[in-house]
């Protein structure tokens, strides 16, 4: 079939009647499917149930340096966990602090600490007239929610296949001292699944910001979340690149095992320079007695080393891959060549990014919900929930089964077609 834009008004009206009938039929099926968030499926969680058997009442509860994980001590993580999390990020254990179950919590705390106490002696952000953050878009809604929560002004930067538009990033940070940071998901980005090129990482590390307290918030959430054995994106290690560029303190890197073991009971970590971590430790001594060292020990005993994690993640890929393929198969078969949508085909991560015709995303999401398929809210991938083109939709294939994903995507493409036809007819009035 030719592109919808090439159809006459009469052809569009005939197609709309056909699509309306198909939509009413779909509504009658009583679907209840959730493609809204990147939640691990029960099958992924079941795969790790023996994780619970690693420690029991007879286990040796001491770390390799003799710390009893049942007691106080070890504020910034046990050595074995520092090494494991460091290996995930490709950094030395000395550059790692291990925290609780969510890296989002560390990011929130890092922004909060910068607001109240400043960054390495700089003026606390709360005492400044303006504080701004760069936000590559489309991006991760929870990142934007943190900066919005603290009243930080968010400036959008377009994403490309190689990462954020670095010409724009370099120009903005160099000319505006009120820009204090940038959110980054450098590998298998949320939602597009893009990975930063070597050039992008080097340019990011070599930034010359006007603000001495500017920081890169490098959320390496999908560092080990490949979908394929033979095709795997790799990125340069940012801490080392910052050091080479003479900016050793400019980056905070975050990761967690939330989508590796149990989503609610993983461990998280931050990697940064000694100066940044020392400042964090100073705050931590007041904030907490320490994080869950028993859970840290459980992770280390279960995986043993990075090779154990990689082997485990291959099993995850075997469960995730068919779901992504189910979505992509329907999109390719039903929408290719129609001129009403474009989508990404990532090598890893948790999402597929779909761009509908301008002005259609909200209507597509609403029609899907009415027929029983819940998607991430349109606009969620932009600061303040406002997509200026109303076109981006994030698809999360992880939670339903491959069969459910195929059914959900069938409905999704039906809604894309129907809303697109309605939009084109409106423009022909």
Q: Quick check: 35 pLDDT over 90?
A: no
Contact criterion met (CB below 8 Å) for 110 and 216: no
Confidence of residue 416 (pLDDT cuts 50, 70, 90): very high
Distance of CA 410 to the CA centre of its chain: 25
Provide CATH code, domain 62-304: 3.40.640.10
CA distances from 416 to 59, 191, 335, 358 (A): 55, 18, 9, 12
- In DSSP notation, 36-74 reads SS-PPPHHHHHTTGGGGGSS-TTS--B-TT--BTTSS--
DSSP H/E element including 169 = helix 166-175
The tens digit of pLDDT for each residue in 305-326 reads 999 999 999 999 999 999 999 9
In this prediction, residue 166 carries a pLDDT of 98
Q: What kind and span of H or E run contains 215?
A: strand 215-219
Q: What pLDDT is stored for residue 33 in this prediction?
A: 87
Per-residue pLDDT of 54-72, as tens digits, reads 999 999 999 999 999 999 9
For CATH 3.90.1150.10, list the domain ranges present in the chain. Answer: 4-44+310-427
Residue 242: pLDDT above 90?
yes
| Helix count and strand count (H, E) for the chain | 13, 13
Beta strands in 257-334 (DSSP E): 268-271
Class of domain 4-44+310-427: alpha beta
Q: Give per-residue pLDDT as tens, 167-204.
A: 999 999 999 999 999 999 999 999 999 999 999 999 99
Query: What single-letter DSSP state applies at residue 190?
Result: T
Is residue 1 scored above 80 in pLDDT? no
For residue 364, pLDDT beyond 80: yes
Taking phi first (over 0 means left), then psi (-120 to 50 degrees means alpha), and beta for anything else, what does residue 73 get? left
Parts of the chain belonging to CATH 3.40.640.10: 62-304
| Mean pLDDT for all residues in the chain | 96
Omega before residue 429 within 30° of 0, cis: no
Q: Which token pair is 246?
A: 């003479």
pLDDT digits (tens, 9 = 90+) for 95-147: 999 999 999 999 999 999 999 999 999 999 999 999 999 999 999 999 999 99
Query: What local confidence, expressed as pLDDT, does residue 43 receive?
Result: 93
Distance CA 150, CA 237 (A): 29
pLDDT in tens, 390-413: 999 999 999 888 999 899 999 999
How is 331-386 classified by DSSP, letter by letter? HHHHHTTSSSEEE---SBSS-EEEEESTT-HHHHHHHHHHTTEEEPPTTTTSGGG-
Residue 124 DSSP code: P
């Amino acid at each position: 079939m030719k592109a919808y834009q090439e159809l006459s008004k009469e052809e569009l009206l005939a197609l709309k009647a056909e699509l309306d009938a198909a939509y009413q039929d779909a509504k009658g099926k009583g679907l209840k499917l959730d493609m809204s968030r990147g939640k691990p499926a029960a099958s992924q969680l079941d795969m790790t149930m023996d994780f619970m058997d690693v420690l029991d009442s007879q286990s040796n509860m001491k770390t390799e340096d003799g710390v009893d994980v049942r007691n106080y001590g070890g504020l910034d993580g046990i050595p074995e966990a520092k090494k494991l999390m460091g290996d995930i990020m490709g950094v030395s254990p000395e550059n790692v602090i291990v925290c609780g179950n969510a890296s989002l919590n560390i990011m929130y705390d890092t922004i909060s600490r910068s607001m109240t106490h400043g960054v390495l002696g700089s003026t606390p952000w709360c005492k400044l007239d303006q504080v701004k953050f760069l936000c590559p878009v489309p991006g991760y809604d929870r990142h934007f929610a943190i900066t919005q929560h603290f009243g930080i002004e968010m400036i959008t930067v377009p994403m490309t296949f190689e990462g954020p538009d670095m010409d724009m990033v370099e120009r903005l940070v160099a000319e505006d001292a009120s820009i204090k940071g940038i959110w980054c998901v450098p590998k298998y980005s949320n939602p597009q699944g893009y990975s930063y090129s070597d050039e992008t990482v080097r340019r990011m590390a070599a930034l010359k910001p006007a603000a001495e307290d500017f920081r890169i918030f490098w959320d390496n959430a999908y560092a080990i979340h490949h979908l394929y054995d033979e095709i795997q994106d790799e990125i340069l290690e940012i801490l080392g690149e910052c050091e080479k560029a003479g900016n050793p303190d400019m980056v905070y890197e975050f990761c967690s095992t939330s989508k590796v073991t149990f989503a609610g009971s993983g461990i998280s970590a931050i990697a940064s320079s000694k100066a940044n971590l020392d400042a964090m430790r100073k705050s931590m001594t007041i904030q907490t007695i320490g994080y869950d060292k028993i859970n840290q020990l459980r992770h280390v005993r279960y995986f043993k080393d990075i090779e154990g994690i990689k082997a485990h993640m291959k099993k995850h890929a075997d469960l995730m891959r068919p779901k992504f393929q189910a979505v992509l198969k329907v999109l390719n078969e039903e929408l290719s060549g129609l001129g009403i949508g474009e989508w990404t085909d990532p090598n890893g991560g948790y999402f597929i990014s779909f761009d509908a015709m301008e002005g259609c995303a909200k209507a597509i999401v609403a029609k899907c919900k009415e027929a029983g398929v819940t998607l991430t809210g349109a606009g969620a991938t932009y600061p303040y929930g406002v997509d200026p083109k109303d076109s981006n939709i994030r698809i999360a294939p992880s939670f339903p089964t491959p069969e459910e994903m195929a059914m959900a995507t069938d409905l999704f493409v039906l809604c894309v077609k129907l809303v697109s036809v309605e939009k084109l007819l409106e423009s022909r009035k």
